[in-house]
Structure 1
Amino acid sequence: MQGRIVSVGRSPVHGFSKPTCGSITLLAGLGVEGDAHAGAQVKHRSRVAADPTQPNLRQVHLFHAEMLAELAHRGFVLAPGDIGENVTTAGLDLLALPQDTLLHLGDEAVLRVTGLRNPCTQLDAFRPGLMRALLGRDAEGRLLRLAGIMAVVLRGGTLRPGDALRAELPPPPHRPLDRV
């Protein structure tokens, strides 16, 4: 289960999109250096309002480029970083990974997958209809969240476009991803 990093980004302010850059540095237990969402406790504004002492399970947002291509076919032309992801990947179905999968990125970094990004109305403010495009239903009618996955940094390192990505599944039984 391998892929590669297509793009990396960060933003020091709580905005929607994250500008892409040549590299980002991941800090163990914190997230992306210089990103507004970095920290041991929650940084997403809605979560801070509810309880600022919660652990930050959303330190790094990952999104796969294959979804960007699918969205483009549906009329939503987006670039890496547009929906706020820190890492855009290719070649690995992020949404199919079980909870607690370890992602080895670049030469050093290791992330632990914590869950799914929950699409919010900010998507529609960015592109009308985008939230609905990032939600779906499976064959049994269960809601599917397609806006990427969230992870915490276990071991830091520097990431660049073109770096390798490898998934290490946790021991069974595997738990499906849920929103965090």
Structure 2
Amino acid sequence: MAAVSRDAAHRFSKHPVVQVRLVAGLGVQDDAHAGPTVQHRSRVAVDPLQPNLRQVHLIPAELLSGLAAIGYDIAPGQLGENVLTIGVDLMCLPRATRLGLGEHAVVELTGLRNPCRQIDEFRPGLLREVVGRAADGSVVRRAGVMAVVITSGIVRPGDAVAVQLPTGPHVALDRV
């Protein structure tokens, strides 16, 4: 991993830290989005009792590198991610893939982040770089993946990421 971040307040960006503690069933300790039920304000307004399928937000560092190449200088945590990975093609993994993070923590992918206009408020024009259309007209989201915490543990920059694909048919990630 390249970086880990958290923020106790509901802000767009998070603060890089030396480590985060992932708590099973809750998310990132001391992060505004931790909890067994949905914590994202727009989703709380719809149904505050729905399960929190967005406990941990992961983004590949390669996305930040690609954005930098077209003029968007974005530091770790600035897109609101908790975990910045290196060398894992997160966007192509199927739903229910488990990622071992560090020595003990395990998260399970639930879906794709669905970026909103806040991303353009952060950097004008950035939304069109992380959401586009495929040749068939379908929406392509590149702003990271969401996960729930299965096994608690401490996660630090430099920790390894182990990918465990689900058994049975693979289901593509969709917005969550």
TM-score range normalised by the length of the shorter chain: over 0.9
Give 1:106 shift: 0.3
Give 1:139 shift: 3.2
TM-score normalised over the length of structure 2:
0.98
Q: 2:65 matched to which residue of 1?
A: 69
CA RMSD of the aligned region, Å? 0.7
The one-letter code matched in structure 1 to 2:56 is V
Choose which of 155, 158, 163 in structure 2 pairs with 1:162: 158
Flag as ranges the 4+ runs of structure 1 deviating above 3 A: none
Choose which of 3, 23, 43 in structure 2 pairs with 1:47: 43
Q: Which moved more, 1:157-166 or 1:130-139?
A: 130-139
The one-letter code matched in structure 1 to 2:15 is P
Q: 1:175 matched to which residue of 2?
A: 171
Query: How far apart in 2 are the matches of 1:12 and 1:40?
Result: 16
User: Taking every aligned residue pair, what percent have the same amino acid on both sides?
Assistant: 57
Give 1:172 shift: 2.7
The one-letter code matched in structure 1 to 2:50 is Q
Query: How far apart in 2 are the matches of 1:132 and 1:139?
Result: 16
The one-letter code matched in structure 2 to 1:159 is V
Q: 1:79 matched to which residue of 2?
A: 75
Query: How far apart in 2 are the matches of 1:30 and 1:22?
Result: 20
Give 1:171 shift: 1.2
Number of corresponding residues? 176
Q: 2:89 matched to which residue of 1?
A: 93
Give 1:74 shift: 1.4
Q: 2:104 matched to which residue of 1?
A: 108
TM-score normalised over the length of structure 1:
0.96
Choose which of 22, 25, 41 in structure 2 pairs with 1:26: 22
Whether 1:10 aligns to 2:6 is yes
Give 1:120 shift: 0.4
SS at match of 2:168: coil
Query: Tell me, which stretches of 5 or more residues in structure 2 are unaligned?
Result: none
SS at match of 1:144: strand
Choose which of 143, 149, 171 in structure 1 pairs with 2:145: 149
Give 1:136 shift: 1.9
